Chains A and B, each alone.
Chain A
Amino acid sequence: MALLFFREVAKSYGVVPVLKGIDLTVEPGEVLALVGENGAGKSTLMRIAAGLAPASTGTMLLDGAPAPGTLHEAERAGIVMVHQEFCLAPHLTVAENVFLGRELTRGLFTDRKAMEVKARALLAELGSDAPVRARLRDLPVSDWQMIELAKAFARQPKLILMDEPTAVLSATEAGNLFTRIRAFRKSGGSVIFTSHRLDEVKAIADRVAVLRDGQIVRVEKTSAISENEMAEAMVGRPLAEIYPPRRGAAPRKAFLSVTGLSAPGAVEDASLDIREGEVLGISGLVGSGRTELFEALLGLRPAKCRSFVLRGEERKLPAAREAWALKLAYLTEDRKGKGLLLAKPLDQNVALTSGAIAGAAWIDRRAERRDLEAAVERYDIRAGRLDVTAGALSGGNQQKVLIAKTLGVEPDLVVFDEPTRGVDIGAKQQIYEIIAGLAAEGKAIVVISSEMQEIVGLSDRVIVMRRGRSAGELSGDAITENDIIRFAMGLEEASPQEEASH
């Protein structure tokens, strides 16, 4: 009998459906991988299975009985979830975190010694030697991930849900985790995990379910599907088609050259050239300093550099508002947190940045309305009515509003940070066309992305970041996923560029 059984499970937030008709089973002792693009519904599905979010409709059974509806019931029934964002208390020790919520006690008091001994053993099983008495905030993120995992195994669950467990782990650490997962599977435990790394899915999962736009479009034994087939199932068409046609390589004029850029704790001694009419892709693992590099460059975080040459003229690093006035634009990866005022109407959002840079003291509301109408036309924003708030739009349309807002200042350089995060496939393709169109106009374009295919599909040149440094550079036909991963994982430290500068 299946351990977990989903039939016709659906979930909507308000009227926006995020999951539709999900049928899924997980057998005892099985490792199931969920793959899909950002926004496909992987995390939501995991949250429903973990009792963190109720399904809107559908049947869910655990061991043949109705599945638990709350987090507490789920934990009691033997389901634990390892979140992508850490659910740990930074001020407590490692051992205290591992046993958070189910402390070992002796009489009235917690049994610190027993918890420390067990925490050490649990971590050792994961190949980690993190000090159990250290406070969490003093340890690096990769340790946090291991502690989160140890915490999950400490609960002796039947089913562990892992959301991107390897995103912040090194190859060795990921290998240790896989060994532990195999041992867990052997003892009858089941795992559902999500990953963007399809090679990992191949290596560890028994079966793979591909999600697209809230539906499961394909379920296969991992041995019966190739990485390429998985990727094509994710995007729903042959990969090549959604990207704009490549433009031929051409010598391009430098727009901005920076050397020796450092931002405390995030970027170390980075140097790069950004060229007119070129799409520069920035790849690297989460936490490798991609976003921070460009925030430092555009005055959004404290930084210093050896030289900053813009349009052929040497100057100092600009402050935030200065950068915008210099026509250097940054389109944030955090649409809801840093990009749009979700509670404000669309026209105010579109006018926000350009108004702050060059607006008159008095607001011309008619002009704002006209600008919105022009943006709706130009970027195909589908809002139905134009007087709704930004928060009422779907992710893809919000992203187009954000693009309209950012391009409203008519920038010469646009840094797109995760431009298609949480965006459905149709909008994605449109955003790629906008990006390619800007490059064709001669603008300097930077695309930061976690999606390897996006980087490969869009970029004329790629810089791979690792631990706050540029780990390598690729251009033209030499841009391949394999090489990007090798640089990102640190398998090939010395790039030609770095050798030259030494």
Chain B
Amino acid sequence: MTDMTATTAGVAAASPGRSLVRLLEAAGPLLALILLMIVGSLMSDSFLGAENLSNVFTRSAIIGIIAVGATFVITAGGLDLSVGSLSALVAGMTIMFMNAAAATLGDGWLLVAAGIAFSLAIGAFAGFINGFMIVKGRVEAFIVTLGAMGIFRSVITWLADGGSISLDFSLRDAARPIYYGQVLGIAVPIIVLAVIAVIGELTLRRMRFGRHVAAIGSNRHVAFYSAIPVSRVRILTYVIQGLCVAVATVIYVPRLGAATPSTGLMWELEAIAAVIIGGTALSGGFGRIWGTIVGVLILGFISNILNLTGFISPYLNGAFQGAIIIIAVLLQRDRAQG
């Protein structure tokens, strides 16, 4: 008897009306992005120009790379608030390392490679410490990464003595192509983002690791009772986040050539907002990288439109992001219950 009714429930879930809603939900972020671009092109002539688009994509790449990592963390039911501060710390320490190592490694590609390796190591290590404290120390992710956020930010302020840490002028040329370079006419940051996004999407959707990430976010107890190495996978998501922050920072450093106490300020807000806008469940269990990338572009274009039109002060950009993240979660809440 109950078997029969369950069958009808399953069929009802796939009725035409429902599937249209599902399609809208699935493609929602993409539709929002298209709508935004139409609005942008109406408000400013230069909006759809190649230069402006390339500019927005390149700037979005940095947050985008961080947000790919955040998608893993959030899908597994975690949260990392420390990404912005970590980026500042990685930038500062990498610059100090490169300035110091220039004497032995020269000012060529070897130094740049060593700098990249150094920053990846710091990022991974910081992510591991975050993950370890959260998983093995059983402290809530919110608290651990909030604490880490404060620690990283104040360490970089202390290292910079309140000012800035600058890459020596003699080294800037070597690092320059990482941000300003082009391959086949496409800016390097965009290529890096694309590669990382594709790897991320495949990992999350097609690999066992990604399945485990989603399973843990969906229900950690079920995952544990299903022989999934829950602690290892959870810690790894934070390591991935740390690595993504490091990659983003490597791209960011040549742009300004310096790290200051305000480097990476509010990046956590942008990254988390992008993930949520993209349709990843804040409570975990379901994540999609392509959605995150769309989310990043939505944020990037909003900021761009504010800058281009002067209609609303660009200083209110953060307010937009804050409002969007709350609205996105509000929409998710209804979906979770449906």
Q: Footprint of B on A, CB under 8 Å?
A: 14-17, 213, 300, 320-321, 324, 330, 332, 334, 337-344, 348, 352-353, 355-357, 359-363, 382-385, 387-388, 392-397, 405, 409, 424, 426-427
Contact = CB atoms under 8 A, between A and B. Distances in A.
B218 A361 contact: no
Contacts of B3: 382, 394, 396-397, 424, 426-427
A383 B211 CA distance: 23
B10 interface: yes
Contact of A337 (B222, B227, B285): B222
A338 B212 contact: no
Contacts of A352: 211, 215, 222, 226, 228
Interface string B263-285: 00000000000000000000001
Given A324-B227, A392-B13, A394-B3, 16 more contacts: A15-B9, A213-B2, A300-B224, A321-B227, A330-B225, A337-B222, A338-B224, A341-B222, A356-B226, A382-B7, A388-B13, A392-B10, A405-B226, A424-B1, A424-B2, A427-B3
A320 B224 CA distance: 8
Nearest to A384: B7
A362 B208 contact: yes
A16 B208 contact: no
Contact of A356 (B9, B206, B212): B212
B6 interface: yes
B6 A332 contact: no
A394 B228 contact: no
Contacts of A321: 227, 229
B219 interface: yes
A161 B231 CA distance: 43
Contact of B208 (A324, A343, A355, A387): A355
Contacts of A395: 2
A384 B207 CA distance: 28
11 contacts: A324-B227, A330-B225, A338-B224, A343-B286, A344-B214, A362-B207, A362-B208, A382-B6, A383-B7, A385-B10, A394-B6
A343 B227 contact: no
Contacts of B9: 14-16, 388, 392
A315 B7 CA distance: 47
A394 B8 CA distance: 11
Contacts of A427: 3
B12 interface: yes
A16 B222 contact: no
B218 A344 contact: yes
B209 interface: yes
Given A337-B222, A338-B221, A15 B227 contact: no
B208 A385 contact: no
B11 interface: yes
B2 A16 contact: yes
Contact of A393 (B6, B212, B215, B218): B6
Contacts of A343: 218, 285-286
Nearest to B6: A394
B5 interface: yes
A363 B12 contact: no
B217 to A, nearest CB: 10
Given A384-B11, A388-B13, A213 B1 contact: yes
A300 B230 CA distance: 13
Interface string B283-294: 001100000000
Smallest CB-CB A-B distances: 6 pairs: A384-B7, A394-B6, A388-B10, A324-B227, A394-B2, A382-B3
Nearest to A353: B226
Residue of B1, B12, B206, B225 ringed by the most chain A CB atoms within 10 A? B225
Given A344-B215, A363-B206, A397 B227 contact: no
Nearest to B212: A356
Interface residues of B, number: 34
B226 A15 contact: no
Contacts of A334: 221
Residue of B209, B214, B218, B227 ringed by the most chain A CB atoms within 10 A? B227
Nearest to A425: B1
Nearest to A406: B226
Contacts of A382: 3-4, 6-7
A37 to B, nearest CB: 13
Residue of B7, B209, B211, B226 ringed by the most chain A CB atoms within 10 A? B226
Contacts of A359: 208
Contacts of B139: none
Contacts of B215: 341, 344, 348, 352
Interface in B5-34: 5-14
A362 B14 CA distance: 29
Nearest to A383: B10
Contacts of A14: 9
Contact of A16 (B6, B214, B285): B6
A338 B220 CA distance: 8
Interface in B90-144: none
A426 B207 CA distance: 38
Residue of B6, B14, B211, B228 ringed by the most chain A CB atoms within 10 A? B6
A382 B8 CA distance: 11
B221 to A, nearest CB: 5
Contacts of A362: 206-208
Nearest to B230: A320
Interface string B185-226: 000000000000000000000111101101100110110111
A426 B286 CA distance: 34
Residue of A334, A356, A392, A397 ringed by the most chain B CB atoms within 10 A? A356
Residue of B3, B8, B11, B215 ringed by the most chain A CB atoms within 10 A? B3
B6 A356 contact: no
Given A16-B6, A352-B215, A383-B7, A363 B221 contact: no
Contacts of A339: 222, 225
Contacts of B224: 300, 320, 338
B225 A356 contact: no
Interface in B30-54: none
Contacts of B13: 388, 392
Contacts of B12: 15
B310 to A, nearest CB: 45
